[in-house]
């Protein structure tokens, strides 16, 4: 019976290797492990890097550029289960092994200020780092038109919908406490790098694929559009001297008070083309993905701070991030070609950001990853 189960699974997987598999057959498990490395700099508008500020000390007004560079090493474990032939349950668990941020600043004019050095070293110490569990996603993919790609048939398209709930398991920004400092007297919040925003996200997706075969090769076009809504919630506000003059950190914290954040809805999309290089063995794909959102809203005791966090010269919470990617997939799924006792799929990929006007007020990232997927069947 066991050998029959393995043979039947391999027969199903022989079709999986031919198309993108948004859903998997009933009672089949797919386990995916992804290891990714990312570096990125904060990007403003109009091809400029960093955030711009105007700050006044005594009678001197300074034009400041503030820069942020991040390095992220992250692992993801994705578990999928074929609840029915047309529906697949998804659990995505990411873990950040290293999140490191380097901070720097410069003046646009020739002036210098020891006072600014002191303030930046106090409020923005560098480098800062963190690690830990990121936000966990639970979701479902549903086939609503066409047939599952693994089933085959005469139809050459499929249409799906999906629903995800992203739970805020990642560590958010620590609350400011003047009594919680390091040995140099710097508040721990200033040295803390949050892993998440602390907001629950609900995402609705519509996606699908078109596939054709010619010259003995399969050609796929995949697309996806999603809309996210975020829970309105209390957050720990970042304490910064850059929005107010001649005020201590304690005074700034008291002036702001309790903060409620309403994050703007978010839209994301993806378009990808895939071609079979070696039948049932090697696929190459390339595409573009993007994320865009409107302006966030903040509710605190200080209206000036609310506006400063939402929009100001040199910064806007309205943002966009667009990337291009390439992937090479190696399949070991066909029952007549499989090597070893376990079927698997290996993916190597890279992603890079597309500059302004397609990426702004966000990080311009360069990423590479290695991913392996395997399949099991439960009866």
DSSP string covering 113-176, please? -HHHHHHHHHHS-S-EEEEEE--EEEEEEEEEEE--TTT--S--EEEEEEEEEEE--S--PPPP
Of 152-156, 222-226, 273-277, 372-376, least confident by mean pLDDT is 152-156
The lowest-confidence range among 24-33, 41-50, 294-303 is 41-50
Domains held by the chain: number: 1
The whole domain housing 89 covers 2-377
Q: Does residue 14 register a pLDDT over 70?
A: no
Cα–Cα dist 76/74, whole Å: 7
For residues 26 and 111, the model is more confident at 26
Answer with the residue of higher pLDDT: 211 or 137: 137
Mean residue pLDDT of the chain comes to 91
Mapped onto helix, strand or coil, the DSSP state of residue 253 is helix
pLDDT exceeds cutoff 60 at 11: no
Residue 227, both tokens = 């809309």
Q: Could you tell me how far CA 327 lies from the centroid of its own chain?
A: 17
Distance (Å) of CA 50 to CA 104, 175, 292, 305: 9, 25, 19, 20
Mapped onto helix, strand or coil, the DSSP state of residue 250 is helix
* 7 has a pLDDT exceeding 70: no
Most confident of 62-66, 259-263, 328-332, 340-344: 259-263
CATH for 127 = 2.40.128.130
Distance of CA 185 to the CA centre of its chain: 34
Tell me the average pLDDT across 358-372: 97
pLDDT, tens digit (0-9, with 9 covering 90-100), for 112-142: 678 888 999 999 999 999 999 999 999 999 9
**CB burial string 202-233: b at 16+ within 10 A, e below:** ebebebbbebeeeeeebebbbebebebebeeb
- Among the residue ranges 66-75, 90-99, 106-115, 229-238, the one predicted with the least confidence is 106-115
Cis peptide before 205 (omega within 30 of 0): no
Query: Where does the pLDDT of residue 45 fall: very low under 50, low under 70, confident under 90, or very high at 90 and above?
Result: confident
Neighbours of 255 (CB within 10 A): 15
Residue 5 has pLDDT above 60, yes or no: no
Rounded to the nearest angstrom, the gap between the alpha carbon of residue 206 and the centroid of all alpha carbons in its chain is: 18
Give me the mean pLDDT over the 161-169 stretch: 98
**In 3-state terms, the chain is what percent helix, strand and coil (to 5)?**
10, 55, 35
Cα 188 to Cα 353: distance, rounded to the nearest angstrom: 32
Separation between Cα atoms, residue 293 and residue 169, nearest integer Å: 22
Question: pLDDT band for position 292 (50/70/90)?
Answer: very high
The per-residue pLDDT for 333 is 83
> What is the rounded distance in angstroms from the CA atom of residue 266 to the CA atom of residue 281?
37
pLDDT of residue 2: 47
The answer for 257, left when phi > 0, alpha when psi is -120 to 50, beta otherwise, is: left
Mean pLDDT of 157-173: 97
Strand arrangement, sheet containing 259-262: 233-235, 259-262, 297-299
Which is more confident, 185 or 7?
185
């Amino acid at each position: 019976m066991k050998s029959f189960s393995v043979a039947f699974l391999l027969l199903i997987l022989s079709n999986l290797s031919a198309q993108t598999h948004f859903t998997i057959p009933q009672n089949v498990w797919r386990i995916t492990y992804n290891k990714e490395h990312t570096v990125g700099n904060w990007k403003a508008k109009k091809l400029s890097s960093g955030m711009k500020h105007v700050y006044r000390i005594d009678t001197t007004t300074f034009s400041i550029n503030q820069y942020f560079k991040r390095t992220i090493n992250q692992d993801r474990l994705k578990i999928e289960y074929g609840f029915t032939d047309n529906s697949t349950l998804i659990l995505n668990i990411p873990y950040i092994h290293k999140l490191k941020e380097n901070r720097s600043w410069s003046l646009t004019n020739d002036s210098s200020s020891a006072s600014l050095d002191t303030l930046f070293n106090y409020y923005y110490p560098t480098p800062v780092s963190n690690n830990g569990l990121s936000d966990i996603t639970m979701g479902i993919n549903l086939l609503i038109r066409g047939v599952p790609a693994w089933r085959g048939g005469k139809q050459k398209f499929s249409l799906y919908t999906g629903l995800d709930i992203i739970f805020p398991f990642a560590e958010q920004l620590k609350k400011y406490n003047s009594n919680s400092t390091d040995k140099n007297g710097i508040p721990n919040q200033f040295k803390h790098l949050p892993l998440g925003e602390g907001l629950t996200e609900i995402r609705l997706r519509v996606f699908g694929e078109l596939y054709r075969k010619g010259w003995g090769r399969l050609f796929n076009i995949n697309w996806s559009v999603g809309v996210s809504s975020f829970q309105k919630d209390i957050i720990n506000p970042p304490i910064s001297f850059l929005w107010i003059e001649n005020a201590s950190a304690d005074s700034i914290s008291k002036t702001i008070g309790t903060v409620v954040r309403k994050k703007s809805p978010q839209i994301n999309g993806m378009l990808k083309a895939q071609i079979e290089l070696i039948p049932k063995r090697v696929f190459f794909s390339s595409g573009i993905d993007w994320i865009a959102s409107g302006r966030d809203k903040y509710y605190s005791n200080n209206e000036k701070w609310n506006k400063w966090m939402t929009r100001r010269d040199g910064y806007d919470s309205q943002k966009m991030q667009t990337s291009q990617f390439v992937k090479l997939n190696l399949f070991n799924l066909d029952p007549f070609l499989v090597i070893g006792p376990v079927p698997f799929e290996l993916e190597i990929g890279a992603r890079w950001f597309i500059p302004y006007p397609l990426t702004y007020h966000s990080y311009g990232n360069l990423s590479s990853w290695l991913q392996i997927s395997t399949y099991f069947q439960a009866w």
